[in-house]
Amino acid sequence: MHTIADTLTRIRNAQLRKARYVLIPKTNMAKQLVMILSNEGFLEGVEELSQKTQKVSQHFLRVSLPEQSQTTKAKPHVMKVVSRPGCRVYVNCKNIPTPRQNMSVCILSTSKGLLTNKEARLLGVGGEVLCTIW
């Protein structure tokens, strides 16, 4: 399963149905992605939850979505997966994309961990372009 696409799809679907929270299975990649989105202002908050049954314990991330009013037709954030398991997209530090003239965020998987396009450019590292959010 593609963790990045699954995480973004869960958030996108929750925004479309105007939910306040969404549960995402906890993985290191999903946790880093959600923390970046929260720091950039696309999400309100993140907390970790554990659910124990008799034999298995499951860990989730409870993501708080920004509130959308019922009367206005505000569009949810557009979240586009760039690199897929069948077609990976890599860039060096000189070719890091700046989508929508710096009005959006591009998330890269680098040797320093998950970084936004601005952070990767400042550190001078390239990597795999995971997704774009605006």
**Residues 86 and 55 placed together within one structural domain of the fold:** no
pTM of the predicted protein model: 0.88
43 and 4 part of one domain: yes
Q: Are residues 91 and 31 in the same domain?
A: no
What does the pLDDT look like over 25-55, one tens digit per residue?
999 999 999 999 999 999 999 999 998 887 8
Indicate the Cα dihedral angle 21, 25, 29, 31, nearest 10°: 40
Structural domain of 39: 1-69
Domain with 105 in it: what CATH number?
3.30.1490.10
Q: What is the pLDDT at residue 57?
A: 86
Please write the tens of the pLDDT for every residue from 103-116: 889 999 999 999 99
pLDDT at 75: 67
Specify the pLDDT at position 74.
60
What does the pLDDT read at residue 72?
55
Tell me the C-alpha to C-alpha distance, in Å, between residue 47 and each of 5, 31, 80, 102, 123. 20, 10, 24, 29, 28
Strand residues in 1-134 grouped as ranges (E): 21-25, 45-52, 57-64, 79-81, 90-91, 105-110, 113-116, 127-133
pLDDT given for residue 47 in this prediction: 96
User: The CATH number of the domain where 34 resides is what?
Assistant: 3.30.1370.30
Buried residues in 81-120 as b, exposed as e (16+ CB within 10 A): bbbeeeeeeebeeeebeebeeeebbbbbbbeeebbbbebb
Distance CA 66, CA 74 (A): 11
Q: Assess whether pLDDT exceeds 60 at residue 119.
A: yes
Q: What is the pLDDT of residue 80?
A: 93
With 60 as the cut, is the pLDDT of residue 2 above it? yes
Asked which of 40, 69, 98 is the last residue of a domain, the reply is 69
Tell me: the pLDDT tens digits for 47-88? 999 988 878 889 999 999 988 765 556 667 889 999 999 999
For residues 65 and 106, membership in a common domain is answered with no
